[in-house]
Amino acid sequence: MYALENIIVALDLSEMDKFILNYTEGLCKLIQPKKVYFLNIQKNFDLDEDDKDLLGLPEDKPFDEHCKAEVKKSVSKHFASFSEFNTEINIIDGNPSEEILKWTKVKNADLLIMGRKKELQGGGMAPQQIASKVNCSILLVPEGITEFKFNNIFVPVNFNEATKLALEEALVIKEKTKEKVDINCHYVFDLPLGYEKSGKSDEEFAERLNINAAKKFKKLKHNLGNEAAIFDYTTELLNGKNIAKVLNAKAKSLKTDLIIMGAKSKTLAAQLFLGNTTKKMIIHDSTTPLLVVKNKKEAFDFWDFFSKH
């Protein structure tokens, strides 16, 4: 797992920023990044006199300078230890989604941190769109979160390469965190279409799937190395229920501090799809932070693709 050295924090000058910054401060103290970029994207810097009057700005003050001052004020208030880190504030104009993709590339970002709004007002970017296209890992911080802690990590598993990425990151966090960290893995599955033709009952077919899952998990732990010996997992049959609701309910019952999921996306088609479960988890409202881990070296680069075509 590559280190999270360069972090971009997307801010929109709304009430959401305080939750993002408070959480980012805790994360930075834990992982000690090399550089933290605070990025604010405005659709247009060219405000007329009436617009500036509404904002209470002098006519001769450039709008980008106003935005930068507001970001500095917010960072100073909600990220009190920011001076301990190498930081930079960038105020950009343009299409928010396009600029996010561009700047994660330009700054060689390892992690993008964004907010997940529920009730708060303010212009924002759709996390599911950004998560599908950005080539680095992404952390979604929910509105209302007031405490940073990683005592309980929840990893939905399906025993593939994406699961391996998520578990590797969980192990890194466990190593860095001084306090005790519990890592809970959960396998949610459904009976495939046409299983009735096998002649087995629901219970018998589910048991067969669980036996296969156990073999895959054993192989995955072997590939992860000795540190993975701590891992075990629980299982749950969906019975047609919404998988995001089921996983979030399980995470809530475990008093989870962080959900980690992996995204293995080497191709354009895979990147667009992102994985059914991961995509549904991003879209679904949750009060728990969600970290989607990508291997930056293997993720499809949307910015390069669209800038060359």
- Tell me how far apart the alpha carbons of residues 91 and 83 are, in angstroms, rounded to a whole number: 19
- Tell me how far apart the alpha carbons of residues 146 and 195 are, in angstroms, rounded to a whole number: 46
- Tell me how far apart the alpha carbons of residues 288 and 305 are, in angstroms, rounded to a whole number: 33
- Tell me how far apart the alpha carbons of residues 301 and 249 are, in angstroms, rounded to a whole number: 33
Other C-beta atoms lying within 10 Å of the C-beta of residue 134: 28
Q: What is the pLDDT along the chain (309 residues), one digit of tens a residue?
A: 568 999 999 999 999 999 999 999 999 999 999 999 999 998 877 776 766 677 777 777 788 888 899 999 999 999 999 999 999 999 999 888 889 999 999 999 999 999 988 765 555 557 777 888 888 999 999 999 988 999 999 999 998 888 999 999 999 999 999 889 999 999 999 888 887 777 788 888 899 999 999 999 999 999 999 988 889 999 999 888 989 999 999 999 999 999 999 886 554 444 444 567 887 888 777 889 999 998 876 654 544 544 554
Architecture of domain 6-185+218-308 in CATH?
A: 3-Layer(aba) Sandwich (3.40)
- Counting DSSP H helices and E strands in the chain, the numbers are 11, 10
Residue carrying the six token digits 């192990």: 171
Q: Model's pTM, two decimal places?
A: 0.89
The residues, any chain, with a CB within 8 Å of residue 79's CB and separated by 6 or more, are 21, 22, 24, 25
* Domain residue limits, the chain: 6-185+218-308
